[in-house]
Amino acid sequence: MDNQDREIIHAGAGPVAESCSSKMIDDRILYRKIDVHIIPLIFVTHMLIFLDKALINYANIMGLQEDLGLHGQQFSWAATVFPIAYIAAEFPQGMLIQKFPPTKVLGVNVFFWGVIVSSTAACQNFAGLVAVRTLLGVFEAVFIPASIMITSQWYTRRESTPRYGVWFCGLGTGQMIGGLISFAAQHDSRMTSFSSWRIMFVAVGLFNLIIATLILLLLPNTPEAAPWLSDKEKTHIREKLALDQAGTGSKVFQNMAIVEALVFDIHTWLLFALVVLIVTPSGVISTFSTALIKGFGYDSKSAALLNIPSGAVSIIATLSCTYAILIDFPRCFGIIALMIPTLIGAGLMSFYDGTGGALAGIYLINFGIAPMALIYSLAGVNTRGYTKKITVNAVITVAHGTGNIIGPQTFLSWEAPGYISAKITVFAVSVAAIFVAAALRLLYGWRNRQRIKERQAELNALSIGQIDIRTLERLGDETDVRNKAFVVGL
């Protein structure tokens, strides 16, 4: 692909930029203001998403199984009901986002999952634990589609990529903070009647409630509703999104957009397969990494601390791939590049006998968490039409839940402490993910060869006044398949 084609695909230069009526707006100042108000809350929410889900990982080495009398595969099932509920709730949550502002839907769900996290401290048996984990899955199902929709309301397709990377770093941050919380909670020996893992759940749940309140109060529903933007800035954002063909148009429900996404667009199902393959290893690591580390001969406090570098690896990998995309490194190649150290880590964890090598393998597997930021970006920039965006985001979330179902179930209690089935699964799906990412890149290349001429014709028409911003906005809910001028972001 030559430089001219890149300019067409990025759709933010030349005639597009000059067509904006508010040319005097400085994008650097404007988006610094937007970033300060929007990104930190999404970042913290993503941190809590992982932390809430991973608390059971730390509780596992803090006496949860003994306190609740769990045996056999009960702990694995307690981890598995979360993604099952997550999948079941995804399409209802998607409908809520279709009918109500995504920020409000997100804030209400964050509030309820904070209540549920705190309630986990009251569990006395397997049934109680399954109940709270099921409800937690229901309320957390909203996060991915809501966050993608919120981000796409403010940023063009090119601008959204680094933002996906930044808020996705919340995942690694949550992993690191979880290790510290677990380590600290295990040092409180004064409250023998209230186990340390219960203290941990209450503390994190209360923090969820604070963040939920901030989301409801501070996140505006749309750029037009932001009190900290001027009218010119709001107009500038609206024009940029219309010119970018972002497809975040009016909330008009379109049955055909759902059918297109689920039946006629292979892009949807390649993303689904890729997410399942990538999330399966992270499902293993997020639920059982501390148990694996403890199996190397460490005590529970040391296992909590030794799991902290996993979060650091995740953050470094996410920021690295985000920077690579900013300098025009194709996203699919970025996914493949990140899966290579994941594959090496899976090999070390599965087939290396020494403790040091196996521990390094667990850390390297966390490179496989970062590709999800690129997949969110691919879904956001390459899906057009509000209804189709909601549908594809829901499919990705279902795939995310499916991977999290598969991961814990590969941990068979009778294989402890080696868990060879889980280790081989991580290795196999890492290989498969590389092939699916390559297939996705081939699909994008083929589509762009069909679309570049149409996109150039549209930009030429815009530059000579044959098409205006309002016309583009009226086309704002056309899907990426039906709009022949839509060019895929690589």
pLDDT at 433: 93
Rounded to an integer, what distance in angstroms lies between the CA atom of residue 322 and that of residue 157?
A: 14
Q: Give how far Cα 455 sits from Cα of 37, 228, 325, 462, Å.
A: 33, 34, 22, 11
The per-residue pLDDT for 115 is 94
Task: Indicate the domain borders of the chain.
Answer: 15-474
| Residue length of the chain | 490
Query: Hey, what amino acid is at 237?
Result: I
Whether the bond between 102 and the residue before it is cis, its omega within 30 degrees of 0, is: no
pLDDT tens digits, 276-300: 999 888 767 766 777 778 777 788 8
Mean pLDDT of 221-250: 81
Range name among 46-55, 146-155, 334-343 with the lowest pLDDT average: 46-55
In this prediction, residues 118-124 reach a mean pLDDT of 92
Q: Which residue has the tokens 């969110």?
A: 376
Are 55 and 117 in contact, with CB atoms under 8 Å apart?
yes
pLDDT band at 21 (very low <50, low <70, confident <90, very high): very low
pLDDT for 187 beyond 70: no
Lowest-pLDDT choice from 97-106, 178-187, 431-440: 178-187
pTM higher than 0.85 for the full model?
Answer: no
Q: What is the mean pLDDT of residues 85-93?
A: 86
Task: Please determine, for residue 216, whether its predicted confidence score (pLDDT) is greater than 90.
Answer: yes
Mean pLDDT throughout 383-390? 76
Of 304, 291, 64, which Cα lies nearest the Cα of 182? 304
Q: Report residue 489's pLDDT band, with 50, 70 and 90 as the boundaries.
A: low
pLDDT tens per residue across span 315-367? 999 888 888 877 878 888 889 999 999 999 888 887 777 778 888 888 898 89
374 touches 334 (CB < 8 A): yes
Give yes or no for residue 118 having a pLDDT over 50.
yes
pLDDT at 465 over 90: no
Q: Which residues of 366-380 are buried (b: 16+ CB within 10 A; e: fewer)?
A: bbbbbbbbbbbbbbb
- C-beta of residue 108 within 8 angstroms of C-beta of residue 215: no
Distance CA 274, CA 336 (A): 11
**Cis ω for the linkage preceding 40 (within 30 of 0):** no
Q: What is the pLDDT of residues 241-285, one digit of tens each?
A: 877 765 555 555 677 778 887 887 888 899 999 999 998 887 677
Cα dist from 134 to 78, 117, 219, 325, whole Å: 9, 11, 28, 36
pLDDT of residue 9: 39
Q: Rounded distance, CA 180 to CA 190, Å? A: 19
Query: What does CATH list as the number for 15-474?
Result: 1.20.1250.20
User: Residue 226 is which amino acid?
Assistant: A
Which amino acid is located at 235 in the chain? T
First-last CA distance in the chain: 11
What pLDDT score was predicted for residue 20?
A: 43
